Each structure stands twice: as C-alpha cells, then as structure tokens.
Chain A
C-alpha cells in the first residue's frame, strides 16, 4: 500500500488538529 492514498501527512497532526478544532 502507498501512503499517497492517505493524502498529505503532517508530523505535527495532533497540534494542528488541536488548533483547528472548536474549543
């Protein structure tokens, strides 16, 4: 399987999702 199928990957996904999600 290729990770390309999963879309762009971010090493800081947790911090980025936390800044985007409603408080």
Chain B
C-alpha cells in the first residue's frame, strides 16, 4: 500500500479501545527532588534467589527497588551523579546485577555500568564509554552496542560482558558513513543488528563478522525514525518504527508506530500498518516502547496509548492520573506489566 492507503485502512474506530485493559497493580514514589527520566525492570540476584526489580532514574540518582510481599517496593540501592545528569537506563539482557546508564545533557556523553555485588551495598560505577555518543543499545548474550561520532568519523562498537558483569571483550562493526540514530536487535537472529540513520536508511550488520550487509532506504514521509523491534520471517524483515518528528495531519492525526516489511535481498520495503490515535485523542508521539506485538506511547497530551500490532488498532488509553501527565512508559522485561512514570518520580505498574 501507499502510505495514504495504509492510513485509511488502519484508522481505528472510536470505540475500538478498552481503557479497562490496563489494571493498576502497584505504585510507588521516588523521593528524589530531580526530574524523573527513565524506568526499567530487570532480574536482580541476591541471597541465592533472583527477583524481578525496578530501576528508576532521576537526573541525579539511579535507584534499585525490590518487591515486598505487600505489593510495595523498597529502595535497596542508589547510585549518585553530581557532574553529568542521567539521560536513560540502558538495560543489558542476560547479565544479572548490572545496570548501564547513559549520561549527558542533550546528547549522550558517557555510558557507565552500575554494579552491586551480592550482600554488598556499596556504590560502584565504572566508565564504559565517553565521547559524542549517538546511539546505544543492550543486546542479548550480554552485549552492548554503541556508536560514537558522526558521518565518516563514526565508530560502531560491540562490548561483551562476562556473566557477572565484569571483564569484557570489544569488537568493531563497519560504520555506514551516515550518522546512526538508533539500534535494534533482530529477534531470533542473534548475529543480526539493525540501525536507523539520519538519512532515512535502515542498515543491517552481521555482528559475528562486523560486516555491513545492506542499506535499505525507507519512505521519506517520516524523518528520524526510531526502530523499536525487528524480526525475520519467511525471508522478510518486519520492523516496528516510531516517528517522533512526524507532523500531525488534519485527517489522521500523528502517526505513532509503523510496521514496515523489508526484503533484505532487494532492499525494497513497504509499510503494512500505521498506528494512529483513536478519534477524540490528540497529541504527538513523545516516547514509546514495544514488546512482542504490543506498542505503548506517551503523547504530548500527557496520555499513554497502547496498540496491538496484530489487531492493528489502539487497545487502551490511560489518561493522566492525579492531574499529572505521564512522561515515561516502558514494558517490563520480567513480566507483562507496563511501567508508567511521571516527572515528579511517581511510578505506576499496570497489568496489561
């Protein structure tokens, strides 16, 4: 379909979402006085058992919260940042007791690992990368990919952690000579990596060899796309993109997520699904997260909206709570919960 046809076909009906499909499980407040910037869930190992924990990040403090039997959360560890503010948490799958964070002002200047060995609550930070960092992503098999620099002066590097988060191995990938915006792992293909670039290309790497396999130019309708998820099926690549810089159209509002199909052999692509807001909702994409076939976004209106990419429409809308706009939304990696945050440090956990 052309973009226009897809928009018409997938415009959700007014009554097609169910606000009841998000149920509040628990909530807590991070008492930090600085602005809340990110939230994440991860497994943390202590006293011989693994627990699903929550990580919260404010500009000057990152905290680890463990669950109590009463559906409450207890802060057990904090890391403080006085020089450069925290921008985001960078979850690294398959590593226990290790949190990575990106620090910077508008752009990432440092990536640090935050460590805490079992039974020892002393604060430890290790500087992993510094420079003009454009993109970073934690990958399965304890890997972290980052790109430093722009255009021809770009270095794309994979760092592999030991199981305990310690000693690491490094490998370079061939840079694409265009600035990388985001990375995405291809689900089920641990040696494949995608990147989106500032000139609307999706690039594909072989992580084992470091080869740059293909550049795929995607529709110029939306600039600066972010790739949230990718999987390969029947010889085709399916990628879920969001469009934070898309302009609002009068007829369809702002496009939030797009499912794109790519033939990696021919570099041809076609959009198959465009997720827009249900009628009656306004706002643009602020930030979002995709897990399996469910996508969630915070809108500039302060509302969170959820789409089922298989059904092709919005399934839940969560308006601001207690007169406070939402500013963060993340899917938990430890269960099917949605983590929703407000700038003042309130974190709400919903079952979807």
Is B209 engaged at the interface, CB distance under 8 Å to the other chain?
Answer: yes
Q: What size tier do the contact residues of chain B reach?
A: 20 to 34
Q: Is B206 touching A14 in the complex (CB atoms < 8 A)?
A: yes
Q: Are A21 and B211 in contact (CB under 8 A)?
A: yes
Give chain B residues whose Cβ lies under 8 Å from the Cβ of A3: 236, 261, 263
Shortest Cβ gap from B288 to chain A (Å): 24
Residues of A in contact, count (CB < 8 Å): 18
Cβ of B234 < 8 Å from any Cβ of A? yes
Chain A residues with CB under 8 A of B212? 21
Task: Check A14/B191 contact, CB under 8 A, given A7-B263, A21-B213.
Answer: yes
CA distance A7 to B174 in the complex (A): 27
Query: In the complex, what residues of B have CB within 8 A of residue A1's CB?
Result: 1, 261, 270, 272
The residue from A9, A16, A18 contacting B263, defined by CB atoms under 8 A apart: A9
A10–B265 CB distance below 8 A: yes
Interface string of B305-343 (1 = CB under 8 A from A): 000000000000000000000000000000000000000
Consensus secondary structure, chain B interface: strand
Residues of B within 8 A of A14 (CB): 189, 191-192, 206, 213, 232, 264
User: Would B232 and A18 count as touching, CB distance under 8 A?
Assistant: no
For residues 1 through 23 of chain A, which have their beta carbon under 8 Å from a beta carbon of chain B?
A: 1, 3, 5-14, 16-18, 21-23
A12 to B232, CA, bound (A): 11
Pair A7/B213 contact, Cβ less than 8 Å = no
Residues from chain B with a CB closer than 8 A to the CB of A17 are 204, 206, 213-214, 264-265
From known contacts A18-B206, A18-B209, infer whether A8 and B236 are also in contact, taking CB-CB under 8 Å.
no
Give Cα A14 to B207, complex, Å.
11
Q: Are A11's CB and B211's CB within 8 A? A: no
Once bound together, how far apart are the Cα atoms of A14 and B1, in whole Å?
26
Q: Is the CB of B1 within 8 A of A10?
A: no
Q: 4 shortest A-B CB distances, which residue pairs? A: A7-B266, A6-B263, A9-B235, A17-B213
